[in-house]
Amino acid sequence: MLVWVGANAGRIGQEQWVDRLVSIQGETSAIARWPGLGLPATLPRSDPAWQGQTLFLSDCMPCHRLNGNGTADKGPDLGLPVNAVRYLTPAGFHALVRNPRALRHWSAARMEGFPPAALSDADIDAIHAYLARLDKGTPLR
């Protein structure tokens, strides 16, 4: 995973990354760096949340934080103040991931939709399951 860091990280467009790349430095794994992103070790490996964790780290974390974990600032934290799965049904989550502007749009919105070739329906379900496993249970107000 390539992650931009520094003050200008949010200003680097997709089309610029190749000619603007100065260096690549190794980082510890996201889970080691932010243990709050990790699933409980007692969770069976057959649980789809494990696949969701992998997908979240590669496809969501470059833009989103989760429960304050991460450094991204392009999109909202998907765990704070309330976990996204508490107000997005699986169908609503699918719709948002596929075409964010179909559900909500504002001038600062940056997210592009993920077509099925990038994330399958099962992948989106797995990310939803991962988010649900990390839900802190914050009451809705």
Q: What is the pTM of this model?
A: 0.79
| DSSP codes, 95-136 | HHHH-HHHH---TT--PPP--TTTS-HHHHHHHHHHHHHT--
Domain contains 81: yes
> What domain range is 106 assigned to?
30-133
Domain contains 24: no
- Tell me the Ramachandran region of residue 23: left when phi exceeds 0, alpha when psi lies from -120 to 50, beta otherwise: beta
What CATH number did the domain enclosing 75 receive?
Answer: 1.10.760.10
Domain contains 63: yes
**pLDDT tens track for 4-57:** 666 666 665 655 555 555 666 666 789 999 999 999 999 999 999 999 999 999
CA atoms of 53 and 57, how far apart (whole Å): 6
**pLDDT tens track for 89-117:** 999 999 999 998 887 777 777 888 899 99
Domain contains 105: yes
Provide the Cα torsion 107, 111, 113, 119; round to 10°. -170
Label residue 139 by pLDDT band (50, 70, 90): confident
Residue 102: the pLDDT is: 82
CA atoms of 97 and 126, how far apart (whole Å): 13
Tokens of 15: 């089309």
CA atoms of 127 and 90, how far apart (whole Å): 10
Residue 90: the pLDDT is: 93
- Identify the three-state secondary structure at position 64: coil
